[in-house]
Amino acid sequence: MDVPPFIIVAIDGGAASGKSTSSRILSDRFNLLHVDTGSFYRAITAEFLRLGVDAADLPAVHAAAARLRFGTRLNGRSAQMEIGGRVVLDADIRSRTVNDHVSHFAAIPEVRTALLAYQRGQADVARSHGFRGLVMEGRDIGSMIFPQADFRFFLHADPAERARRRAREGQQDSIAERDRLDSSRKTSPLACPPGATSIDTTHQSLDQVVELMATPIAHRLSAA
Ligand code: CDP
């Protein structure tokens, strides 16, 4: 009997572009492990802040990054990061302070390198738990982490619409500033990678955006 294909779906985009909600829906629909790499950068940021490490103090960042030990725990279909055996809670990583600092730490090449193998290793986590694949969201998934992914999507939306979405979630977030930092950094800047499918979500409902991604995925899985 043929082994069903293991598929990798990469979804990149700026803050509040709709990545997380649509990734979760695709994860449920196709039994894919959901991996939110933004939560990893947020978790590292919360840990650096807890340790009193300043993003401007590069030697201290490098030393702290080298000491981090990561693990993964499953929360339903989502991968949750553990640092030093402790699971990192959502409440601790969605704070205003983390929002303000995360892009500064994420721009440091050694921080990105510290996460590279861990992020790629999520494919093994998905395989070993019997998922059909993985849907990974972030800023550099289709360009750097999984450039050979079966599907690569890039979501974007007007800044005003994205700010409205974040406000509706009750969050204070420096979206414009994070986007500026994320797009202008030297290492793995936020950009639509060549060959990825770009989707403007400004005037589309969540259902419409999900269908644009789900249709080719369903086609691939049913053809297998
Ligand atoms: O959810 P939201 O779109 O606000 O952001 P996020 O996905 O939680 O990511 C938080 C921050 O982590 C981003 O602003 C980036 O600075 C950084 N990040 C990154 O550099 N590379 C990734 N693959 C994912 C996130």
DSSP letter string, 179-202? HHHHHH-SSS-S-PPTTPEEEE-T
Percent of the chain exceeding pLDDT 90 equals 79
Global confidence as pTM: 0.94
DSSP 8-state assignment for residue 56: T
**Atom 21 in ligand 1: residue holding the nearest Cα:** 139
pLDDT-based confidence at 79, cuts 50/70/90?
very high
Average pLDDT of the segment spanning 134-162 = 95
Q: What is the pLDDT of residues 24-67, one digit of tens each?
A: 999 999 999 999 999 999 999 999 999 999 999 999 999 999 99
The domain spans of the chain are 7-223
Q: Cα separations (Å) of 86 from 48, 65, 68, 69, 135? A: 14, 16, 11, 10, 24
Average pLDDT of the segment spanning 101-111 = 96
pLDDT at 175 over 90: no
Best probe residue, ligand 1, of 36, 41, 152 (max atoms within 8 Å of C-beta): 41
32 alpha carbon – ligand 1 mean position (Å): 21
- CATH architecture of the domain with range 7-223: 3-Layer(aba) Sandwich (3.40)
Q: Which residue has the tokens 């043929």?
A: 2
Please list, residue by residue across 82-105, b when 16 or more beta carbons sit within 10 angstroms of its beta carbon and e when fewer do.
ebeeeebeeeebebeebbbbbbbb
